Amino acid sequence: MSTLTGTKKTADAATTGRDRGPLRGMAWLVWRRNRAAFLLLAAVTVVVCAYCLYHRAGVLDFVARYGNDARYAEKFDEAYKPVFDRLFALSGLPALLAVFLGAPLISGEQEHGTVRLATTQSVTRTRWIAVTVALPMLVVLVCTTLVSLAFTALWSPASRLVNYGDWLGGTIFDITGPVPVATALFLTSCGIALGLLVRRVVPAMLLTLVAAFGTSIAWSYLRTRLATPHSLTGPASGDYPDIPDGAINFDQWLGTADGRLLGYGTCVDAKNEAACYADHGIVHKIVEYFSLDQMAGMQWRGAGLLLVLTVLFVAFIVQWTRRRPL
């Protein structure tokens, strides 16, 4: 009862817009109900940005002394592995936002019944859901953008040194550029939608966690399909061609004279490798790789796909809220 009374007071305050500050009306109400999560996210953002900027000077000094050269990756790893290992935890930030901010956003009000009180005020249901969804998404957008910019600024000067230059393996690709922003917006909207359907906080959080896990698996499959790998061809009698510095070796093949591709292990167990090559008609060794300059394009394609899905989720939330009882 006290919860309903308190909510009625805040709802009345929202509709009259009598509170001080930059926010008014529904925006102030949404901020007040979620301010603990917003402030915690803002604090994490400040800490991460400060941490990245603090260590960036040391990374720049290392690069100025040795260069962004893969030959010094082991030396760099000895000095900065703990720093980047801590920051790699940022890959879990989108899932945390979805579980602890997105999932309870509407399901919490449905579970406690306060959503009925909020929607009986003078504001329309469309305006209520628009502000309820838009403000948290805006906070997520701003904070994850700042975090991504800070980590990218730390990683970029030493792109061939961090994690031994492996930018495609998962963590670095997922927490630089537009990817963490798009992933956070997508998972948060997914959490809001699941909460709207489930109408209970804990089940919504669990389902959102499962959805985030499924998304990570699907994303791992999609990541290497966001661009066509380059290829280099060399004679079968020699070694596989060397790929450019900073590139990621994607796959290796054995090529026949008629254009067929065979697995690189085709003749591994043969007693006479040359005879095995001759029997299969193998004349080439082919290596496929992703170059570092493909990274940005791959990230923007993946982020674009996630943002389209985010728009679809938000449209679903708005339509469901307008047409069905809450």
What mean pLDDT comes out for the span 282-288? Answer: 92
Encoded amino acid at 17, one letter: G
pLDDT value for 21: 64
pLDDT value for 2: 41
* Short-list 104, 113, 92, 285, CA closest to 202: 104
pTM score: 0.87
**Which tens digits make up the pLDDT trace of 184-236?**
999 999 999 999 999 999 999 999 999 999 999 999 999 999 999 999 999 98
Report helix, strand or coil for 268.
Answer: coil
**What is the DSSP code string of 212-235?**
HHHHHHHHHHHHTTSSPPEEEEEE
CA distance linking residue 220 with residue 204, whole number of Å: 24
CA distance linking residue 39 with residue 46, whole number of Å: 11
* pLDDT of 14 strictly over 60: no
pLDDT value for 273: 84
CA distance linking residue 247 with residue 322, whole number of Å: 50
Question: Side by side, which strands form the sheet with 282-290?
Answer: 230-235, 282-290, 248-256, 261-263
What mean pLDDT comes out for the span 21-48? Answer: 88
* Structure tokens, 26: 């529904």
Mean predicted lDDT score pLDDT of the chain: 89
* pLDDT of 24 strictly over 80: no
Instruction: Lowest mean pLDDT of 2-6, 8-12, 247-251, 320-324, name the range.
Output: 2-6
- Greater model confidence, 19 or 181: 181
Alpha carbon separation from 261 to 30, 185, 241, 264 (Å, rounded):
58, 41, 16, 9
* Short-list 289, 278, 314, CA closest to 193: 314
What mean pLDDT comes out for the span 22-26? Answer: 74
pLDDT value for 6: 46
* Structure tokens, 4: 């309903």
Residue 268 — very low, low, confident or very high, per pLDDT cuts 50/70/90? confident
What mean pLDDT comes out for the span 236-263? Answer: 90
Alpha carbon separation from 211 to 121, 154, 241, 320 (Å, rounded):
34, 30, 41, 20
pLDDT value for 114: 78
235-240 own/partner pairs: CB under 8 Å, 24+ apart? 235/283, 235/284, 235/285, 236/277, 236/282, 236/283, 236/284, 236/285, 237/274, 238/285, 239/285, 240/264, 240/285, 240/286, 240/287
What mean pLDDT comes out for the span 119-143? Answer: 87
Residue 237 — very low, low, confident or very high, per pLDDT cuts 50/70/90? confident
Which residue has 């590139």 as its token pair?
247
Residue 120 — very low, low, confident or very high, per pLDDT cuts 50/70/90? low
* pLDDT of 300 strictly over 50: yes
* pLDDT of 4 strictly over 70: no
* Structure tokens, 275: 């005879």
Residue 121 — very low, low, confident or very high, per pLDDT cuts 50/70/90? low
Angle between helices 179-198 and 295-323 (to 10 degrees): 20
What mean pLDDT comes out for the span 144-166? Answer: 95
